[in-house]
């Protein structure tokens, strides 16, 4: 039986770690390339926003109202925006968990036409991962929305277009689940800039760490 010398094992492991590091960097570069290719849809669309529109960093949040981890991340982002005056958040509704998710998304986007998106969005997130249409409309009433107008706007072409566009954009970015966030500098020209695409409910500290990297800190 032949044995690999210890020195050979060390050489092999060193090569393996180098390959893994290269692969991780390559994956990150692919994320940045994909995001830059669709920067207008990601960062400069008519999607609802929160925070400072002139902030130096931007966080794009792809979410579903029936996704429990999306609710956790939503609270984290709300807290972050209150603490950091230079963060802009863009909301990308991504209803992938069934009819109730799509109904809630249509209602939220329709609420934007009454300038009550953010309040209603937060109320929907507070419903938890399981709700029905009656609860969505109840949350709308609590947010002070005109329900008749809301139902009318839910069937509008603009709302349907936003949902269709978000779903297509997620596919272009290889986003396969929620929550997923995209973090970049809030700039018109992102050439050569690192852009992060990350899935999962990150903690506030984890997001702050990425923001620091994006800002060049």
What Å distances lie between residue 89 and 9, 59, 117, 189, CA to CA?
Answer: 47, 5, 13, 18
pLDDT, tens only, 62-84: 999 999 999 999 999 999 999 99
pLDDT, tens only, 26-57: 455 889 999 999 999 999 999 999 999 999 99
- Rounded to the nearest 5°, which phi and psi values hold at 57? -135, 155
Lowest average pLDDT, out of 15-24, 77-86, 104-113, 163-172, goes to 15-24
pLDDT for res 28:
58
pLDDT, tens only, 199-216: 998 999 999 999 999 998
Examine the pLDDT at 21 and tell me if it is beyond 70: no
HEC readout, the chain:
CCCCCHHHHHHHHHHHHHHHHHHHHHHHHHHHHHHHHCHHHHHCCCCCEEECCCCCEEEEEEECCCCHHHHHHHHHHHHHHHHCCCEEEEEEECCCCCHHHHHHHHHHHHHHCCCCHHHHHHHHHHCCCCCCHHHHHHHHHHCCCCHHHHHHHHCCHHHHHHHHHHHHHHHHCCCCCCCEEEEEECCCCCCCCCCEEEECCCCHHHHHHHHHHHCCC
- 36-214 maps to CATH 3.40.30.10: yes
Mean pLDDT of 114-129: 96
Lowest average pLDDT, out of 14-23, 62-71, 76-85, 139-148, goes to 14-23
């Amino acid at each position: 039986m032949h044995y690999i010398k210890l020195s050979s094992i060390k050489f092999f492991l060193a090569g393996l770690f180098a390959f893994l590091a290269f692969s991780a960097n390559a994956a990150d570069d692919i994320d940045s390339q994909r995001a830059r290719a669709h920067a207008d849809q990601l960062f400069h669309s008519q999607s609802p926003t929160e925070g400072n529109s002139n902030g130096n960093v931007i966080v794009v949040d792809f979410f579903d109202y029936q996704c429990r981890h999306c609710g956790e991340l939503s609270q984290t982002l709300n807290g972050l925006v209150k603490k950091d005056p230079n963060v802009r958040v863009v909301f990308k509704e991504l209803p992938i968990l069934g009819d109730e998710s799509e109904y809630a998304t249509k209602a939220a986007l329709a609420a934007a036409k009454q300038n009550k998106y953010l309040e209603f969005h937060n109320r929907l997130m507070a419903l938890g991962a399981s709700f029905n249409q009656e609860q969505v409309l109840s949350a709308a009433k609590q947010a002070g929305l005109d329900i008749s107008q809301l139902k009318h706007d839910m069937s509008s072409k603009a709302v349907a277009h936003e949902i269709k566009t978000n779903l297509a954009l997620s596919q272009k970015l290889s986003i396969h689940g929620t929550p997923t966030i995209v973090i970049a500098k809030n700039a018109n020209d992102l050439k050569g800039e690192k852009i992060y695409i990350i899935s999962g409910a990150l903690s506030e500290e984890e997001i702050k760490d990425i923001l620091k990297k994006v800002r060049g800190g």
